Amino acid sequence: MSLRLGDIAPDFSASTTAGDIRFHEFLGDGWGVLFSHPADYTPVCTTELGKTALLQGEFEKRNVKVLALSVDPLDKHHGWVNDINETQNVNVGFPIIADEDKSIANAYGMIHPNASETFTVRSLFVIGPDKKIKLMITYPASTGRNFYEVLRVIDSLQLTAQYSVATPADWKEGEDVIVVPAISTEDAINKFPKGVKVIKPYLRYTPQPNK
């Protein structure tokens, strides 16, 4: 059965470039990003892990731990990290999971047989402090992901988790947000002292509450 939003993220034990981990224990009470790449020593993956390393401070500011995964062995990961650091001018500080038996990839549905029977596609999962899956994105092997978009989504998810708001199309940190339909306009006016702008009864904006 495939994973869906709101499902508990499967727990697992794994060997990584940062040592052995137990996934849920590793995440603790924070957020997590687990993403797969098709193989080590490949060009698109090298740029992706380099970009993630470059943005690691941004993930940490949001209390997010990042883990990468492929079905290659650990010794290959360690060698590839040297190449990533050299070519992308970064220092990869997050764990890369060695999933040689594909048990984690299969648990998360990262292998799509019609695309490749042996390698993982570019799957990415955002996991909340409750260990539930909040976001799933899947890219083909040929297309590198936009990790600024991943950060934008995390900002939205964390805002929604704290306040009764949603975010509109193309929303960016600091812009107005949408009051969720479950809250009446009267309650929204009391809840959001910065003001509520009513466009339609179902479309109401308010300034970002935590700004």
Express each pLDDT in 148-183 by its tens digit: 999 999 999 999 999 989 999 999 999 999 999 999
**Quick one: DSSP state of residue 70?**
E
- Where the chain has pLDDT below 50, the residues are none
The class (CATH top level) of 163-206 is alpha beta
What is the Cα 209 distance to its own chain's centre?
Answer: 23
Q: What is the Cα–Cα distance from 12 to 104, expressed in whole angstroms?
A: 7
Residues of the chain with CATH 3.30.1020.10: 163-206
Q: In this predicted structure, what is the pLDDT of residue 11? A: 98
Q: In this predicted structure, what is the pLDDT of residue 122? A: 87
Q: In this predicted structure, what is the pLDDT of residue 141? A: 82
Instruction: State whether residue 138 is helix, strand or coil.
Output: strand
Q: Quick one: fold of 13-144? A: Glutaredoxin (3.40.30)
Q: What is the Cα–Cα distance from 24 to 129, expressed in whole angstroms?
A: 9
DSSP one-letter string for 23-35: HHHHHTTSEEEEE
Contact 209, 166 (CB under 8 A): no
Burial of 47 (0-12, 13-18, 19+ CB in 10 A): middle
Q: In this predicted structure, what is the pLDDT of residue 116? A: 60
Catalytic positions, please? 45
Residues of the chain with CATH 3.40.30.10: 13-144
Q: In this predicted structure, what is the pLDDT of residue 31? A: 98
